[in-house]
């Protein structure tokens, strides 16, 4: 091999080495750029796949005991507020009402009073109290959701107005009953037998009304495991009710994601049961605390955490997200469904555009899950 060939070979090797160094530098530069971009996105457009759809699930619990006479709905059937779900055999309770009415008439005859108006007023009061009882439960639930930011204050105010109206109806019914009692005369109204008979009638009418179980909100039955003839016991659930009126997403973000997240931030979400679609939402609440296994038993010693530094698992906090358009969720509201979430915690159109591209890619890839 000539000296010229050696020089040419050395030059080629040098060129290859330079090219390799350039490629390595470019790759390292790209890695550095992507790493920095990841850190920025993680702070100002954080995303997580640890999120699930949430709805309220309440037990369907009869307040009186008896054999189930009719089941008016099917499992998973969509129900409206006020739809009749179950009827417990009312025979015994109708007899109890008739007996209480007869006892009241007998008590009235002993004091020479006319009890027809009292019975009507008593029945109206029982209906008003039943309606108030239902309204109190609904209002407590709505106030709880308002406190978590799931529904607006306007909805809470509307619920308070309905509760006030129900209370006013009870007050009016009580006033009418007092008026009817006064019509008996002082002796009749204060008669111990009359009072006992009125209380017996009120309880009997309430029990009769409770033989019918109605849907409290829009929703569906789940875990229905009873049939006609089943003996339902008061206070023992016979099914679960899925409230389809209120739905939200609970997403878990790392602590260092939370700095720039605020209530009101826009959110994009992909539901596993709706691949290819991106849903819009809004941050409604950021939790201040989580259970980290803290020892609250004074008789036990504190437990030392072993993981430290980069090896420790990041602590995650729940962020509550509401859907901007719940009409898009018809047929998709499944409690526990998995969700991919990205929060736009900045006004930067560049970062928000990159986040939108990423969540769109996730939506497309969700077809393969």
> What would the pLDDT profile of 215-228 be if each residue is shown by its tens digit?
988 888 888 888 99
Digit-coded pLDDT (tens) for 153-182: 777 778 788 878 888 888 888 888 888 777
79 is written with which tokens? 């129900």
Instruction: Report CA-CA distances (Å) from 43 to 47, 50, 129, 236.
Output: 9, 17, 53, 48
Which residue's structure tokens are 């007092």?
178
Domains of the chain: 40-55+245-289+312-368 (2.40.30.170), 90-210 (no CATH)
pLDDT-derived band at 252, boundaries 50, 70, 90: very high
pLDDT higher than threshold 60 for residue 11: no
CA distance 281 to 42: 19
Beta strands in the chain, from DSSP E residues, in sequence order:
47-60, 66-71, 78-79, 84-88, 212-214, 219-222, 231-232, 239-254, 266-271, 279-286, 316-323, 338-344
Instruction: Quote the pTM value.
Output: 0.63
| Distance of alpha carbon 35 from alpha carbon 27, whole angstroms | 12
> What Cα–Cα distance (Å) separates residue 39 from each residue in 42, 43, 44, 268, 309?
5, 6, 9, 20, 18
């Amino acid at each position: 091999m000539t000296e010229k060939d050696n020089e040419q070979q050395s030059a080629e090797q040098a060129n290859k080495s330079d090219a390799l160094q350039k490629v390595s530098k470019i790759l390292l530069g790209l890695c550095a750029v992507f790493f920095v971009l990841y850190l920025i996105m993680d702070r100002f457009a954080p995303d997580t796949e640890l999120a699930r759809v949430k709805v309220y699930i309440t037990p369907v619990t009869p307040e009186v005991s008896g054999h189930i006479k009719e089941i008016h709905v099917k499992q998973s059937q969509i129900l409206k507020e006020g739809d009749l779900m179950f009827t417990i055999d009312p025979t015994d309770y109708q007899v109890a009402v008739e007996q209480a009415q007869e006892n009241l008439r007998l008590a009235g005859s002993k004091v020479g009073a006319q009890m027809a108006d009292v019975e009507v007023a008593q029945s109206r009061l029982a209906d008003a109290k039943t309606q108030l009882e239902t309204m109190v439960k609904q209002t407590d639930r709505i106030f709880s959701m308002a406190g978590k930011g799931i529904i607006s204050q306007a909805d809470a105010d509307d619920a308070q107005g309905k509760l006030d109206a129900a209370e006013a109806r009870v007050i009016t019914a009580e006033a009418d009953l007092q008026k009817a009692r006064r019509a008996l005369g002082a002796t009749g109204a204060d008669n111990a037998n009359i009072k006992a008979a009125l209380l017996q009638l009120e309880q009997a009418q309430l029990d009769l009304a409770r033989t019918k179980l109605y849907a409290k909100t829009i929703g569906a039955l789940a875990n229905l495991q009873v049939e006609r003839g089943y003996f339902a016991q008061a206070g023992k659930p016979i099914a679960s009710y899925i409230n389809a009126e209120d739905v939200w997403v609970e997403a878990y973000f790392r602590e260092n994601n939370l700095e720039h997240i605020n209530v009101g931030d826009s959110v994009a979400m992909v539901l596993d049961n709706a691949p290819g679609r991106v849903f819009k939402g809004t941050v409604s609440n950021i939790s201040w605390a989580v259970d980290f296994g803290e020892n609250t038993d004074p008789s036990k010693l504190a437990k030392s955490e072993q993981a430290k530094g980069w090896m420790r698992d990041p602590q995650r906090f729940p962020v509550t997200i509401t859907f901007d358009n719940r009409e898009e969720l018809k047929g998709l509201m499944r409690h526990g469904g998995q969700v991919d979430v990205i929060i736009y915690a900045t006004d930067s159109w560049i970062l928000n555009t990159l986040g939108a591209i990423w969540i769109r890619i996730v939506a497309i890839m969700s077809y393969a899950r």
